[in-house]
Amino acid sequence: MSKTGSREERELVKMLWDANYAAMRAPASGGATKKPLPDIIAGNGKIYLAIEVKSSSKDRIYINSDKIDALLEFANVFGAQPYIGAKFTRKKWRFLTPEILYKTPQKNYRVDLDLAFQKGLELDEILGKDKQVKF
């Protein structure tokens, strides 16, 4: 993982703690183990989240299908809601469920900036604190 990705992961963990969620970066994510681990796990005793963090300075983020498969497997076993946390440079965080991602011809996934801001959720929405109306 690049230093940039680690920075975004730490930023998101802090935001989750500030919202009264226990949160941690999974230090073995990114291939250090054969187990399916997301980048961040968080919960408050009622809501549990498994988040794969992706960031980009461009308008698109590509995600290997193995990352999405591992996220879904972990979330299923753990009882968490799976999200891709997308952080585009100088934009707010957006959280997308795997089923709304665009599947590429190579069977991987893509998040476009437009999709993230049209269908993605804000942090308060995935935490159950707010509900945005999407048109």
Domains of the chain by start residue, with CATH: 3-126 (3.40.1350.10)
pLDDT of residue 35: 81
Strand duo 102-103 + 22-25: pairing: unpaired
pLDDT category, 28, cuts 50, 70, 90?
A: low
The torsion of the CA quartet 39, 43, 46, 51, rounded to 10 degrees, works out to: -20
With a cut of 60, say whether residue 57 has pLDDT above it.
Answer: yes
What mean pLDDT do residues 96-118 have? 93
Residue 112, strand partner residues:
60
Contact assessment for residue 75 and residue 43, using Cβ atoms and an 8 Å cutoff: no
Tell me whether residue 29 is one of the annotated catalytic residues. Answer: yes
Active-site hit among 6, 29, 57, 65: 29
Token reading at 111: 């998040």
